Structure formats: structure tokens, C-alpha cells
Structure 1
Amino acid sequence: MEQQNTIKKEGRLTLVLFLATLIAAFGSSFQYGYNVAAVNSPSEFMEAFYNKTYYERTNSYMSEFVLTLLWSVSVSMFPFGGFIGSLMVGPLVNKLGRKGTLLFNNIFSIVPAILMGCSKVARSFEMIIVSRLLVGICAGLSSNVVPMYLGELAPKNLRGALGVVPQLFITIGILVAQLFGLRSLLANEEGWPILLGVTGVPAALQLLLLPFFPESPRYLLIQKKDEAAAKDDQIYLRAGVNANHVQYVTAGTGAVNVLMTICAVFVVELLGRRFLILLGFSVCFAACGVLTAALALQDTISWMPYVSIACVIIYVVGHALGPSPIPAVLITEIFLQSSRPAAFMVGGSVHWLSNFTVGLIFPFIQAGLGAYSFILFGVICLLTTIYTFLVVPETKGKTFMEINQIFTKMNKVSEVHPEKEELRDFPPRALGL
């Protein structure tokens, strides 16, 4: 009976764990999504500000090419900063810890928020460009560190659900930016600096509240060899009561994205990681195929534009179910404690470089392929589906030891010694509780 109660207790979503998840995701992941979409709606007012500022300095306006280039640089600085942030993940999480890195990361949000908010008064579009780089670094760090932090805090039966929460807050951030970006609110000549500066609010709240919550016990025990601190944080986590890449076309698709990510939070422990990735990429592949046909036929069949809109929404649904939230969960689960930071660095770097590359070359792809532009993305979705089906195992409900054993058998290598502490799930008894 005592053992059953212990197992039951280990799987609880305590109030402390719930609040730590909420603060980490809102303070970091929300900003990622918000800054993806924040510059879309006020772009014409910001470009006019660029031109007006240049005129005040030189007494002449920018050429159309220079203005377009300058705006493209402003937008692309965000994914480039994300790439830099991903490269910083390993050194920072090993030196400062998971929570410490999230607190440090707020510098890359609060400072650019102030700069962007003051850019119009200061008559400096350079402040916006530098700020976009800095908030990109913030997003690159948070997109990797938040899933790692929550994955190490959560018991095995909640790792999937809590691991999807950061992606949920990214989609909420996109939706909020789209709503604030309405012309009647902040996407106007006077309001756009406020729209850009709002990103500092979640960071300030996280900076105030996160210090009161625990560091990853696995990090403290395994990497810092601080058994006493790990015990204290485990007690803290288990105390309390149950707490019952793309820029989207419209706020409507943003709302769909949020709803489907919420669904993923609840079904990831029911259906499993592998199933959701297979389902998500299959849906995205089908959506790309039908969208290509719809775009090719839109001039000959009157109702094809409606099919195109439906395909975009279906793609968002598929992406929100699997490809968007699940990879971070898998990285947390399939890599050892010592190699997890490096794995997130590699995954994050690929993500942000792909983001940067697509943003840079897609206009040329669209100009060259026209209606067939999405065939490339459909092929990528298909290949990923095949790879997942053949290679990626299910990790739902498994301990780090069990997951490691699956991969040692798949790769036909010697099994890691069972006592290796990196593979252990540290129950209260093992920590002396």
C-alpha cells in the first residue's frame, strides 16, 4: 500500500510544478511566439518610419531596393539571433543551470523591449534591427531551455504534457501579437513602438517570480553533485495540492493553432509521441499536396481559393498536433543528462537556420515555381513521416533507463550499466525523502 501511494504521489501535478511550468512558459516561450508575429501588422508604418528617419538625416528618401533590403534585414535578424541563442544553450545551462539560464535570458528581452519602445522617439531604426537580433537570441535560448527545464522537473507520466506547454505558449504569443496588431489597437502610426515593447512584460514577471521556484533536481544532483539541494527541490516540487514558424495568415488560424496545441497537451500521454508526429506530418503532407493542386487550378475553378484556405488551416492543425510541440519532448527523453544540452543546441540550430533560410529564399522559390512552391515542403513532410515510422520508437510512459535500452538494442551496442545515475528516475526514497 505504501509503495502504491508513493507511485501515485510521484505522478501528481503539484501546485508548485504547475506554477513553475506556467511562469517558465509565459515568461520565455510566449515571447518567442509574440516576436514571430509582432512586426507583421505594423510593417507599413515601420517602413515609413525607416524612410522618414533616413530623410531627416540625408534630406533624401531611400530607394525601394534599399528600403526592402533594410526591412528584410530587420525581419531576418530574429531567426539569425535564434541561431546564435541555440549555440549558447550548452555552455549556459551547464554553467548557470536550467532556471539560471532562463533568468539570465531575460536580459535579451527586457533590453530590446526598451530599445524598440524608444526607437521612434530616438529616431533610430538601427535600434530596431539590433533589438530584433537580441530578442532572437532570447527566443533561441528559451525554445531549447524551457522544454529541458520542464522535462527534468516533471515525473515520467507528465513529461509529455508539460513538454508541450512551451509550444502552447508560443502559439498563444502569436495569437496575442495578431490581436494587438489590429489597426484599432496598436498596429498604427502611434502604437507600433508599444506593440514591439510589450515583449518585455512577460520577461519582467519571470524575473520577479521564477527565483522562488526550484532548479532542476537532476541538474543539481548529476551535474553539480549537490545532493542536499536536489533533495530540497524535490521536496518543494512534491509539496502542495493538485492543480486541477511560419507566420499565420490570419488571427483565425492563430486561434486554431492554440486550440490544437491545447489538444496535444492532453493527448500526448494518451496517444504517444510517435503517433502524434506521424499523424502531424502526414496531415501536413496531404495539406501541401492538395494546396498545390488548388493553387494550380484557382484560375480555372471558382471555388478553389476556398480549398486553399482550408488547406492552410488543415496544415496548421497538423503542425500544431505533432511537428511543432513533440520534437522538444523527444529530445528531453532520448538523450542522457550529459548530452541533452548538446542535443538541444543541434536541434535548435537546425530549427533556426531552417527558419532563416526559408525566410530568405522562399520569395525566389515562389517566383520560380509559382503554384508548385509547396511541393518542396510536402516532400520534406513525407520523408520525415517515413523516417519516423522506420526509426523513432515510442517513449510514452518510459523511464530514461527504458528509453536508453530501446536505443541500445536498435543500434546493437553494449547496454549501459543499469546503475549509471544519468539514467535513473530519482524517486523520493532514492533521494532520502
Structure 2
Amino acid sequence: MANPEERKGKLTLLLAAATLISAFGSSFQYGYNVAVINSPAPDMQRFYQNVSESRNSTVSEGVLTLLWSLTVSMFPLGGFFGSLLIAPLVNNLGRKGTLLFNNIFSVVPALLMGVSEVLESFEVIILGRFIVGICAGLSSNVVPMYLGELAPRNLRGAVGIVPQLFITIGILTAQVFGIRNILGNAEGWPIMLSLTGVPALIELILLPFCPESPRYMLIQRGDENNARTALQRLRGWKDVEDEMTEMRLEEQSERAEGQLSVLKLFTFRSLRWQLVSIIIMNMGQQLSGVNAIYYYADSIFSSAGVKENDVQYVTVGTGTVNVLMTFAAVFIVEASGRRLLLLIGFGICCAACVILTVALSLQETLYWMPYVSIGCVIIYVIGHAIGPSPIPTVITSEIFRQSSRPAAFMVAGSVHWLSNFTVGLVFPFLEWLKCSQQTKHKGHQVLKKIVGLVPKERTS
């Protein structure tokens, strides 16, 4: 028998392949669809207006803002409904089977959004965003669950962050494609929206060659032979009896409980603090506003005083920083621990938000404040990338056992996507109100000058 210490930390070719295929085919799409409508937003809004006018109806600025908010927020709303499907699908189809089935919710909306301009229908885009949101809601939780059950214990943290890394790569890819000279223009945005189907097709071809989760096959299906075979392929050696014994003990201890539903999960006193922890982490992750940066990056940087021609490049730069810091988190998570990275990450985000608020308030007074605003956004992204973004799914996978894990991911996913939906829907109205107040303030100043309440500026 080989020394267990020699096996520690072994990343086999099959485990690496399963990690990359599932993360690219599923997690990448989540990130891509978060940022895909940021750069082409003005051209898409013109399309909305033109379609409405062709139907002999006018669209006010408020209605257009509402339609665009729905376009953005239908994605996280679909994510919420996708998260409700996690437990029934992973318990019946398995982890790998659910990921394969989930590609339906990517290919169909890719086709719908790709032909929206030909059909002259913005409703098709809104529907497509909702359906691809279902895909993201499932993949954002099933991929970490799948990889957490494939990886050896000492690699679960690093492997568990890979899906978040591919989410950031998806965001960056959408930001690069969104450069106006590439696809972020009036002709290219339908192609840009439809490209989300490409990773799904690749996953449909390659993922069947990867194994199903051994824990799922043994504990939930009772298929010991296939579980052992899959584990041997994943570990790269024949002697896997230690892990098989561990899984059998877990199966025996959970046989009396059975699969926990969400309602049962909330009634278990022994799981109360674990449940509270994942709810708070997912609320903090999303309500901190990280996805508002990617949904409306160009608008945010324009408000911060960035020149119009430079906005798209600042956006890409922010996405690049996000990828690099998440990549760094893959290597430091095991050494630093989950709790420390969360505390440091949220601390950096909090400090950056406070300074950003002050900088935005003073940007018309001090000419260099826009640079401070840009720096604060980048620092915020760095803080979020090393802790709040990747760690919650890793912890959810680790602190719940096989019987409660699907229900726990269902709860975590629901909180995640409802919070995401709130940010996506509310943010443009906050910005619209801010612009309205600024316009009103300037109007009052002009009126005061006209009626003589404020001395007019001297002219030479």
C-alpha cells in the first residue's frame, strides 16, 4: 500500500480535464452573460426605441429605463428560478447529468437573442436573458458541488475556486468583445449575445467523457462498483479503499435522515449556524454591488469622470484585474484559510466604497477626483476577487454533508440570485434619479440667475 502522504495534493489529468471542461462550459457562461450587455447598451436601447416606433408607439425615458432594467435583471431572476431546480435535478440526474441537461438553457436563448434583430423584437432578448439566467443559476451552484465531490480533500479549496476564475474570465471576454471596434456596436451586438451557446456546445461534446461524482454514485445511487472505478480514475491509483470506507460511513450515518429538503434543513438545529453563515455570505457578496460594476461598468466610469473614448478600456482593465486576483486566490486559499480571505476581502471592499462615495461627491470640485474613483473601483474588485466572490461556494460545499448539500446549495443560490436581481433592477433607477436631481439643481441655479436671486458671473 502506498503512503497516503505521497498521494496528497495529486492533480490527475482526468481531474484537471473535468474541472476545466465543466468550468468553461458552465461557469464561463455566467460571467459572460453578466457583462455582455454593458458595452452595447446604447445600441441595444436604440434598437428598443426603433422597434417601439415601428409599432406606432412612443417610449418615454422612464419606460426605456424600465425596459432596460428588465433586460438586465431578467438574468438574475432566471438565476433564482434556476437555483430552485438544483436539488431535484442533482438528486435525480446526478451532478454531471444536471450540467449536461443545463445546456438546453444556454443553446435555446443563444438562438433567440441572436435572431432578435431579424425578428424586430426586444421581448425575445428579455426572454432569452431569463432563460440563460436559469442556466447560470444552476451552473453557479452545481459546478462547485460537482468539483468539490471530485477533488481530494486537500485540493477542494483550490479546485473550488476554479469556477469563480472562469466566471471572471467570462466577464473579461465579454468586456473585450464589447470594445466598439470588435462587437460592441450596432451590427455586432446580436452576435455577441448569441456566442453564449458556444461553451455549451463544447461541454455537450466533452463532458460525457468525464466521470460522475463518486460520492453521488455510492451514497445516493448505491452503485459501489462504478463509484470505485470513477475514484480510481480520478486519483490515478487502484487503492481507494480509504475514501470508499469514508463514503460508506457517511452513507450509513445519513441513511436514517435520507435526502434533506429545504424545509427540513431549516428545522435542523445542528445545521442552523451553517445555514445562517451561507445566507449572510451570499447576501454580502451580492448586495455589496459587485455585479452592478459589470452590468453597468461603462455608465459607472462615465459618471466617475472617465472620458467617453477611454471608458471601454478602463472597463477591460478592471476585468483583467479581477481575473488576475481570482487566479491568485486559487493558490493562496489553502494556505490562508477561508475565513481570513473573507474578512480581508470584505474589509477592502468596505474601505473602497467609503472612499469612492467621498470621491464621487468631490469630483466636480477637485479635478483629480475621477482618478481616485477609478482607483477605488479597482481596489474594490481586488478585495472582492480574493474573498467574497469565490469563497462562499467553497464553504457551502465543505460544511454540509451529502444528504444536506443539494438543499444547502439551493438556499445559497436563491439568496445569491435574489440579491443579484435586486441590484440589477434598482441600480439604473438610482442613477436616473441622481441625473434628474443634478439636472433639477442646475435648472434651479439658472432660474435664480435669471430672476436676479444669484449674481450673474462677471464677463470680461
Pick the TM interval, shorter chain.
0.7 to 0.9
- The residue matched to 2:366 in structure 1 has which SS? coil
Q: Which residue among 119, 134, 143 is the counterpart of 2:116?
A: 119
Structure 2 contact 40–189 (Cα < 8 Å) conserved: yes
Q: TM-score, normalised by structure 2?
A: 0.76
Structure 1 contact 52–61 (Cα < 8 Å) conserved: no
1:360 aligns with 2:425: yes
Superposed, which structure 2 residues align to 1:232-251 within 5 Å? Answer: 232-239=229-236, 245-248=291-294, 249=297, 250-251=315-316
Q: Which residue among 16, 24, 27 is the counterpart of 1:26?
A: 24
Structure 1 contact 36–247 (Cα < 8 Å) conserved: no
Structure 2 contact 65–428 (Cα < 8 Å) conserved: no
Distance 1:290 1:53 in 2: 42
Name the aligned partner's letter for residue 9 of structure 2. G
Q: Which residue among 307, 319, 326 is the counterpart of 2:384?
A: 319
Name the aligned partner's letter for residue 246 of structure 1. A
- The residue matched to 2:208 in structure 1 has which SS? helix
1:282 paired residue number: 347
Distance 2:406 2:348 in 1: 31
Shift of 1:282: 1.0
Q: Which residue among 9, 34, 39 is the counterpart of 2:7?
A: 9
1:351 aligns with 2:416: yes
Q: Percent identity?
A: 67
Distance 2:47 2:427 in 1: 26
Structure 1 contact 273–330 (Cα < 8 Å) conserved: yes
1:224 aligns with 2:289: no
Q: Could you tell which deviates more after superposition, 359-368 or 101-110?
A: 359-368
Name the aligned partner's letter for residue 44 of structure 1. P
* Pair 1:60–1:296, CA change in 2 (3 A): closer
1:163 paired residue number: 160
The number of aligned residues is 363
Q: Could you tell which deviates more after superposition, 271-280 or 287-296?
A: 287-296
Structure 2 contact 21–207 (Cα < 8 Å) conserved: yes
Uncovered stretches (5+) of structure 2, i.e. residues with no partner: 238-290, 298-314, 436-460
Shift of 1:68: 2.4
2:141 paired residue number: 144
1:190 paired residue number: 187
Larger Rg: 2
1:341 aligns with 2:341: no
- The residue matched to 1:40 in structure 2 has which SS? coil
Name the aligned partner's letter for residue 89 of structure 2. L
2:328 paired residue number: 263
Distance 2:406 2:392 in 1: 14
Structure 2 contact 292–423 (Cα < 8 Å) conserved: no
Distance 1:206 1:258 in 2: 22
Uncovered stretches (5+) of structure 1, i.e. residues with no partner: 371-433
CA RMSD of aligned residues (A): 1.7
Q: TM-score, normalised by structure 1?
A: 0.81
Superposed, which structure 2 residues align to 1:286-325 within 5 Å? Answer: 286-325=351-390
Distance 2:96 2:211 in 1: 8
1:396 paired residue number: none
2:301 paired residue number: none
* Pair 1:274–1:93, CA change in 2 (3 A): same
Distance 2:73 2:427 in 1: 13
* Pair 1:128–1:274, CA change in 2 (3 A): same
1:44 paired residue number: 42
Shift of 1:181: 0.6
Structure 1 contact 105–141 (Cα < 8 Å) conserved: yes
- The residue matched to 2:153 in structure 1 has which SS? coil
Shift of 1:60: 4.0
Q: Could you tell which deviates more after superposition, 170-179 or 40-49?
A: 40-49
Structure 2 contact 72–425 (Cα < 8 Å) conserved: no
